[in-house]
Structure 1
Amino acid sequence: MFKFVHTADVHLDSPLKSLSLRDPEAGEVIANATRQSFSGIIDLCLEEGADALLIAGDLYDGDMNSVKTAGFFAAEMRRLNEGGVQVFIVKGNHDAESKVTRHLVLPENVHIFSARGETVDLQNYGIAIHGLSFKNISAPDSLLPMYPAPMAERINIGLLHTSLAGYAEHDSYSPCSVQNLIDFGYDYWALGHIHKRTVHHQSAPVIVMPGIPQGRSIKESGPKSVTIGFVHDNGQIDIEERPVQVAQFERIEVDVSGLSDMRDLVECLDIALGEAVPRIECGLLVARLNLVGSTPLAPRLERDLDLVLEEARQAAARAGKAFVELVELDVSNESQGRQSTLPIDELASLMKVDELQATKEHLRQILDPLTSKLPLEVRNALAPSGTIEGEMLNEWARRGMQKVIARLVIDDRESQ
């Protein structure tokens, strides 16, 4: 039997920038998450007695120029070499940007496929492994026609970095359809590029997109893993999913309906996080809490969101192996929707009018100069076009309105 581990989109040493910006201490704790996860993949290969590790692109993260990252990778490859594990790699769009790795000296067990399309014949196993690396950072056309034909009397495995027919959150790279892959004649397609795990075809051929092995933000929430493949002597290929992440991002909804005291909120946070920690498949839960429901606490939650976040982080510390990166609010006051002639309620009604174009334009004039002073990665995340507009501007205006009303409500209560 031939056993292999299939991964992709490692994005080695990719910094968790959004978390680091929100909380430097937490960012430091899991700054090496991608590196630790990759070491876990190496450990898995050795523990399972794998014959090969397949990396289907984006091993590195963009224009990787860190000699330390390259040295770390080389050291891990030497561990596999000592364990008798061969490594097969195709370069993806991010790898094509890296300059340091072009001169990296790797042990003899590592084979990086060229941009011409190659086949490695593992005669002792009856396995042929095919691959083709990205030459440039873009590949708008299918690379499939450049792949070698299947070898006769071999189990054929292909490594391909592709966006397939396209995904909304991913740019198009080497597009092709699942049917194209089925028709090509290989027995297993080891894909990469899409960060969500998907088994596109279960047998003859098996087609697997393993997903990213370590999430890097709340957008990559949920358990992450690699795929182990077992090629039996009769040619049948079975697969298993194995978790390898060291930190798991999760959105957690916390119902605060009817709560009227902050002590009740703390208890609610303790319960929510205490229940969430045992459900994760790795060492650390990184949670984003969404407080929902109708509660008299709504104005205070809006006004004192920083305090709520600190209470949530204390609850996470009590739960153990957890950290709260952000608290979002989707709460309302229990009196909302009732007829009211109170000045604050009338003001809130006026501020909710969406047609206040002059107000939006004034906000844009304030925000655009501030946006230009932000770090590049933050600026691109907030305003790729260079200006705050559309739904983001509406959302920020809504949140600002809520905070103003919340402060007025609390001040009114405290003055009575």
Structure 2
Amino acid sequence: MTTFRFLHAADLHLGSPFRGLAVRDEAVAGRFAQATRTALTRLIDEALAAEVAFAVIAGDVYDGAWKDNSVGLFFNREISRLARAGIPSYVLRGNHDADSVVTQTIALPEAVHAFETRKASTFVLPDLAVALHGQGFASRAAEENLVRAYPAPVAGHFNIGVLHTSLTGHAAHATYAPCTVEDLRSRGYDYWALGHVHDFAVMAEDPMVVFPGNLQGRSVRETGAKGAVIVTVEDGRVAGFERVIVDDARWALAEVDISDCADLPAALRLVEERIAEEAADLGDRTMALRVRLTGRTGLRSAILAAKGQLSDDIQAAAHRINADVWLEQVKLDLTAPETAPVDFGFDLAAALRDLSADPEMRARAEAIIGEIATRLPSGRAADEAPLGEDTDALIAEAVELVAVRARG
């Protein structure tokens, strides 16, 4: 009976820009910036330790066009460690490293094999009776169903389909090479090694259809443990698989409902409990944590008035749990209970609403926000507002603070 293991990884995104983090410690920021490379080094360590027979990378080795050759040289250095151990690698181009996007090249070891991008191609490993079928992206846009042109399975072999795809769609990812699980199943292969979706997911078990997720989260939209999978094959069938977690810097989102908290110390205790849950399996990694406070509470005004102090208190709570947990941002989604209005002798609420709607005041507010944004550390995700909220939300918060302080 033939038994072997292979590595299935995807979405390395080497060269990905530093996004979504604003912390005060430069060393922590540097560790996040280096994390995608550290994750790949750890992945190769895991593959060598597991003595895999071969490795499959299902797209997006790179994040896009290189600014210099250092990205290609780093991948060459790490993949060469497998080659020197006699482990071949089979690499498919995804939308981020399509032929039309990454035009620079670094000569890779002969043991690294790239799937064709103009049509589906097949690699056969006769000693293992394995056939790998795949088609990379010639251009960043791949709107057609590529699976329909994949070849028939090789008889008497363990057949692996390799594809970079969104399947029928994913809320967090653009649509590329769309297809259904039934389309994949119709090819008659034994395993589908997918890429593109950054969440780990087993989409089907007969045959196994797997997204390993990306190696390293790059923003608060990519939370939790990240890594790849090692698949065990026995006598021509999948006998099992295991996730290998290789991320070095983790993102977390802690949502905390403080509706039942009587005071700020009680709310902070609840936040600290949630942070402990998020950091429970952190190990030697560092973590960027976003805290979102929710609920209907009379504490809302006090929290708005002391948001900076609250952030410091939460950071202190995080460090009591783990010295490598760093607060990325505090988001407030709180509503206040209804209270009787205070009589100021005039309609304060109406006056503030009129002021916030004034075009001149809005222009001044946007200018101030823009000036502050230029002084912030680089790191917001491209589609995030520089201060974490849009102009309307910031003005509304400022108006509420004025009203709170006016009430004394």
The TM-score normalised by the length of structure 2 is: 0.85
Matched, 1:4 2:6: yes
Higher share in helix? 1
Instruction: Confirm whether residue 199 of structure 1 aligns to residue 202 of structure 2.
Output: yes
For 2:401, the equivalent position in structure 1 comes to 406
**Contact (CA 8 Å) 1:64, 1:98: kept in 2 or not?**
no
Which structure carries more relative contact order (alpha carbon 8 Å, separation 6+)? 2
1:218–1:349 CA distance, 2 compared to 1 (3 A):
farther
Answer whether contact 1:70 1:101 (CA < 8 A) is retained: no
Partner of 1:388: none
Distance apart, 1:259 and its partner CA: 5.5
Say which of 28, 31, 34 aligns to 1:29: 31
Residue 75 (structure 2) aligned to one of 54, 73, 76: 73
Structure 1, residues 7-63: CA drift from partner, whole Å, max 9, x if none?
A: 111111313322158875542231111111111111110111111111000110022
- CA–CA separation in structure 1 for the residues paired with 2:345 and 2:160: 67
Moved more, 299-308 or 167-176: 299-308
- 1:225–1:244 contact (8 Å) kept in structure 2: yes
Structure 2 distance, partners of 1:363, 1:169, is 36
Residue in structure 2 matching 1:57, options 32, 56, 59:
59
Could you tell me how far apart the structure 1 residues matched to 2:127 and 2:197 are? 33
**Residue 389 (structure 1) aligns with:** none
Residue of structure 1 in register with 2:157 after alignment: 154
Query: In 2, Cα distance between the equivalents of 1:42 and 1:297?
Result: 50
Matches within 5 A, 1:261-276: 267-276=269-278
Structure 2 counterpart of 1:239, from 214, 237, 241? 241
**Distance in structure 2 (CA, Å) of the matches to 1:201 and 1:19:** 35
Q: Secondary structure at the match of 1:184?
A: coil
The residue type equivalent to 1:359 in the other structure is A
Structure 1 residues 154 and 351, CA gap change in structure 2 (3 angstroms):
farther
Moved more, 112-121 or 262-271: 262-271
- Is the 1:215–1:248 contact (alpha carbons within 8 Å) kept by the matching residues of 2? yes
User: Within 2, Cα distance between the matches of 1:257 and 1:47?
Assistant: 49
1:125 to 123, 128, 136: 128
User: Are residues 350 and 3 of structure 1, via their aligned partners in 2, closer, same or farther at CA, if it must alter by over 3 Å?
Assistant: farther
* Residue pairs, 1:203-222, within 5 angstroms: 203=206, 205-222=207-224
In the alignment, residue 250 of structure 2 is paired with which amino acid? Q
Give the stretch that moved more between structures: 247-256 or 30-39: 247-256
Trace 1:6-405 onto structure 2 (pairs within 5 A).
6-20=8-22, 26-96=28-98, 102-115=104-117, 116-203=119-206, 205-257=207-259, 267-280=269-282, 283-320=285-322, 321-333=324-336, 336-343=337-344, 347-348=348-349, 359=357, 381-382=383-384, 396-405=391-400
Distance 2:346 2:47 in 1: 63
Letter in 1 for 2:191: Y
Contact 1:225 1:242 survives alignment (8 Å): yes
After TM superposition, the structure 1 stretch with the greater mean CA deviation from structure 2, 50-59 or 275-284, is 275-284
Cα separation, partners in 2 of 1:181 and 1:270, compared to 1, 3 Å: closer
Question: Partners in 2 of 1:50 and 1:311 — Cα distance?
Answer: 47
Contact 2:72 2:106 in 1 (8 A): yes
| Residue-by-residue CA offset, 1:262-301 (whole Å, 9 max, x unaligned) | 6555555444423432144662222101123455543232
Whether contact under 8 Å (2:22, 2:380) holds in the other structure is: no
Q: State the AA in 2 paired with 1:252.
A: A
Instruction: Find the aligned partners of 1:215 and 1:182 in 2 and give their Cα distance.
Output: 30
Q: Mark the runs of 5 or more structure 1 residues left unpaired by the alignment.
A: 384-391
Give the gaps of 5 or more residues in structure 2.
Answer: none
**Any conservation in 1 of the 2:157–2:236 contact (CA below 8 Å)?**
no
Question: CA 1:241/1:168 → structure 2, altered by over 3 Å: closer, same or farther?
Answer: same
Larger deviation, residues 280-289 vs 86-95: 280-289
Quickly say closer, same or farther: Cα 1:188–1:34, change in 2 above 3 A.
Answer: same
* Contact 2:100 2:138 survives alignment (8 Å): no
- State the distance in 1 between where 2:341 and 2:370 align: 42
Instruction: Call closer, same or farther: CA 1:229–1:301 in 2, change over 3 Å.
Output: same
Q: Is the 8 A contact 1:287 1:322 kept in 2?
A: yes
Question: Are residues 44 and 365 of structure 1, via their aligned partners in 2, closer, same or farther at CA, if it must alter by over 3 Å?
Answer: same
Q: Which one-letter code corresponds to 1:273 in the other structure?
A: I
**Residue identity matched to 2:383:** A
TM-score by length of 1: 0.84
Distance 2:173 2:362 in 1: 29
Aligned length: 398
The residue type equivalent to 1:144 in the other structure is: V
Alignment-mate amino acid for residue 333 of structure 2 = D
Counterpart residue identity of residue 132, structure 1: Q
Moved more, 126-135 or 89-98: 89-98
Separation in 1 of the partners of 2:25 and 2:344?
39
Specify the SS of the correspondent of 1:220: coil
Aligned equivalents of 2:29, 2:217: Cα separation in 1: 13
User: Comparing 220-229 with 308-317, which one deviates more in the overlay?
Assistant: 308-317
Give the direction of change, closer, same or farther, for the CA distance of 1:357–1:264 in structure 2 (3 Å limit): closer
Q: Work out whether residues 360 and 397 of structure 1, in 8 Å CA contact, stay in contact via their aligned partners in 2.
A: no
Tell me the alpha carbon deviations over residues 59-99 of structure 1, each in whole angstroms, 9 at most, x when there is no partner: 10022233111111111011111222211100011101676
SS of the counterpart of 1:212? coil
